[in-house]
Amino acid sequence: MEPTLRWVGDAQGHLALVDQTLLPSRQLVLEHRDLAGVIDSIKRLAVRGAPAIGVAAGFAVVIGVRERAPADAAAFQRVLDEVVDIVSAARPTAVNLAWAAERLRERGRREPTLDALLDEARAIHDEDVELCRAMGEVGADLIKPGFRVLTHCNAGRLATGGDGTALAVMFAAHARGTPFKVFADETRPLLQGSRLTALELSEAGIEVDVIVDSAAAGLIARGEVDLILTGADRVAANGDAANKVGTYGLSLAAKEHGVPMYIVAPASTFDLSVASGAEIPIEDRDPEEVLSILGHRIAAPGVGARNPAFDVTPAGHLAGLVTDRGLIHPITTERIKATLG
């Protein structure tokens, strides 16, 4: 498979990304040279997953500043502010987007050149590869031989610049020779589980069964799930975590039936400026995504729909947080702050 996203060339180059809306049936690489194109790809989920849109955000700032061709240092700062604001607003829930754009703003303040911006964007990408590797190592021992692991949405190579978050843990356990199988929630409405997670796991040689989202609670209740691992789009200072809609429901079933559930997230996904999950903005998406499947209308004309893309899992429902800097277990604000520095 092509890399999820990569920068090609020098500061006059372009951002190449796999259009995830077409997977697994088609592998199309989009080449972005203008800001509107990158923003469109982020909004329609051609590139998606919190760390991956953070990486894309860095390159988007390079492209946006370049196309506005600021004539002097004052214009550079003005344009940089404008572009950072546009990029940060592309999607509201994943904090990685604004976090990465702000890093570019700070770098551009100190060093107002396109080369410096590109250097920072590349650093964010390189760091993400390392964060994924570290999360895999920290979490791999949670998967014991014979475990049946359930996951939701896609928290893998397609959602990050590296090996993933929750899936990096699975890849690391697999590399250590631990035998286990995975249940992948299909993840309506956009099917990131059946289209993307199942693809990644099967390509890696990890046994995976796709289940409809509504089957998860029943399997958990029947004792057919040993561990739940998901990613997150934003983790608050108290450990509450926003992730793909349906994650909260999984956590309720996990708590009721004593199945350990961990969120796997890098430091870049933590937002210590929000005290709890109640302050995390939840993206509402086009109702048409619910009324259709893969562009095919299934509901009758005139029917309405609600389409919250994320929900918040309270820290109290989680056994712990797997981060690149270690396992946080049990979850307290103090432990989170101590682990993340």
The residues that touch ligand MRU, with contacts defined as CB under 6 A, are: 45, 48-51, 94, 153, 155, 159-160, 164-165, 192, 230-233, 243-244, 309
CB of 335 to ligand MRU, least distance (A): 21
Q: Rank residues 45 and 220 by Cβ distance to ligand MRU and give the closer one.
A: 45
Nearer to ligand MRU, 119 or 286 (CB): 286
Tell me 24's DSSP state.
T
In the complex, what is the shortest distance from the CB of residue 179 to ligand MRU, in angstroms, rounded to a whole number? 24
Q: What is the CA radius of gyration of the chain?
A: 20
Smallest gap from Cβ 246 to ligand MRU, in A, equals 9
131 vs 220, which CB is nearer to ligand MRU? 131
CB 150 within 8 A of CB 227: yes
Q: Which listed residue (128, 185, 226, 233) is catalytic?
A: 233
Please give the torsion angle defined by the CA atoms of residues 323, 324, 328 and 332, in that order, rounded to the nearest 10 degrees: -70
C-beta of 58: minimal distance to ligand MRU in Å? Answer: 16
Q: How far is Cα 184 from Cα 168, in angstroms, rounded to an integer?
A: 15
Supply 38's token pair. 């990158």
Closer residue to ligand MRU, CB minimum distance, 198 or 309: 309
Residues with Cβ within 8 Å of 21's Cβ and at least 6 positions away in sequence, in order, are 44, 45, 46, 190
Residue with smaller CB distance to ligand MRU, 121 or 155: 155
Closer to ligand MRU by Cβ: residue 80 or 151: 151
- Nearest CA among 188, 191, 268, 286 for reference residue 232: 268
Residues near 334 by beta carbon (within 8 Å), at least 6 away in sequence: none
The nearest distance, CB 71 to ligand MRU, in angstroms, is 37
Angle at 128 between CA 125 and CA 132, to 5 degrees: 150
Q: Smallest distance from the beta carbon of 11 to ligand MRU, in angstroms? A: 28
Q: For residue 287, say if its preceding peptide bond is cis, omega within 30 degrees of 0.
A: no
* Chain residue whose CB lies nearest ligand MRU: 231
- Distance, in Å, from the CA atom of 99 to the CA atom of 48, rounded to the nearest integer, reads 15
Q: Which two tokens stand for residue 174?
A: 């697999």
Q: Where are the alpha helices (DSSP H) in 192-331?
A: 192, 198-203, 216-221, 247-257, 288-291
- The answer to whether 233 is a known catalytic residue is yes
Query: Annotated active-site positions, please?
Result: 233
